[in-house]
Amino acid sequence: MFIMKIYDELVARGLIAQVTNEKEIKEIINSGNATFYIGFDPTADSLHVGHFMALCLMKRLQMAGNKPVVLLGGGTGYIGDPSGRTDLRSMMSPEIIQQNCNCFKQQMERFIEFGEDKAIMVNNADWLLELDYIELLRDVGHCFSVNNMLRAECYKQRKEKGLSFLEFNYMIMQSYDFYHLYRNYGCNMQFGGDDQWSNMLAGTELIRRKLGEDAYAMTITLLMNSAGNKMGKTAKGAVWLDPNKTSPLEFFQYWRNIGDADVLKCIRMLTFLPLEQIDAMDEWKGRQLNEAKKILAYELTKLVHGEEEARKAAL
């Protein structure tokens, strides 16, 4: 019986957008030798659907024997990621940043298995807030080309309205995170949303220039609907993972009511149903697509809120 390797499964589920070195990445994660990180900036007091996709990727890779490093952005949260933004993010107080980090931590423990020889959680405030500015400039400043930074996709939209020097530093901070995690935790890969690509490349380049070592980056396909808009938004705002902000019933109904053109893609990308089962749904139409939406809503509500809440929401 043919057993699909994890990298091929990620491809088949449509999860991979860009990779730096496909052959090497494929070999490392298929053999369970990746120590990889995904960063989560604490921009709110709950994770949302966009984060959920990254957590699912983490879970898949952990199940294949790889070691996740969850990076809470307690330090980068002081700056704010300009990627995909047309305006400056609101500045948060240190107290709000810490409170949001605590909320993220509690929610993540539902998805990822933490513990000795399992996943670890770190907070970049522990090293970024201790950096000396002049020392940092002397240490890594020469590794970054301003010309390359200005061409980066992550700054594109911000340049139209004016890119602040504060935001311009975000790439350096994210790159430094990768460099720090590589040196101190043996973290050889970074995964993230496709809008993070230029930041992630900068991190691999910093490691190469400072340490003469290879590190790798892979971006996840952004969760977009057939109209080209980011999914996980309603008239009320974001679809949150916190049941006090988006109830299990509202969460279920969001997925139950997505467009016909998006349902099978979402089942493939977000659920843990076997690919053979999903492939058999490819020819479904009409009422069958309605059934597929119920399956999607149930599976995702079960993952986020537990089986009992999924059953109640499905009634």
Fold for the domain defined by 233-314: Tyrosyl-Transfer RNA Synthetase (1.10.240)
Please report, in tens digits, the pLDDT of each residue of the chain (315 residues total): 557 899 999 999 999 999 999 999 999 999 999 999 999 999 999 999 989 999 999 999 999 999 999 999 999 998 877 765 555 667 888 999 999 999 999 999 888 889 888 999 999 999 999 999 999 999 999 999 998 888 887 777 677 777 888 888 999 999 999 999 999 999 999 999 988 999 999 999 999 999 999 999 999 998 888 777 888 877 677 899 999 999 999 999 999 999 999 999 999 999 999 999 999 998 888 888 999 999 999 999 999 999 999 999 998
- pLDDT for 150 equals 86
The alpha carbons of the chain give a radius of gyration, in whole angstroms, of 20
How far apart are the C-alpha atoms of 298 and 296, rounded to whole Å? Answer: 6
Q: Where are the domains of the chain?
A: 6-220, 233-314
The CA angle 251-253-256, to the nearest 5 degrees, is 115
Q: Whose CA is closest to 200, among 212, 188, 211, 184? A: 188
- pLDDT for 229 equals 81
How far apart are the C-alpha atoms of 57 and 10, rounded to whole Å? Answer: 8
Q: Is the pTM of this model over 0.85?
A: yes
Among 3.40.50.150, 3.40.50.720, 3.40.50.620, 3.40.630.30, what is the CATH number of 6-220? Answer: 3.40.50.620
> Strand pairing of 216-220 and 16-19?
antiparallel
- pLDDT for 2 equals 56
19: left (phi over 0), alpha (psi -120 to 50) or beta: beta
* Bridge partner residues of 69 (DSSP): 37, 120
Helix (H, G, I), strand (E, B) or coil at 97: helix
- pLDDT for 204 equals 97
- pLDDT for 181 equals 98
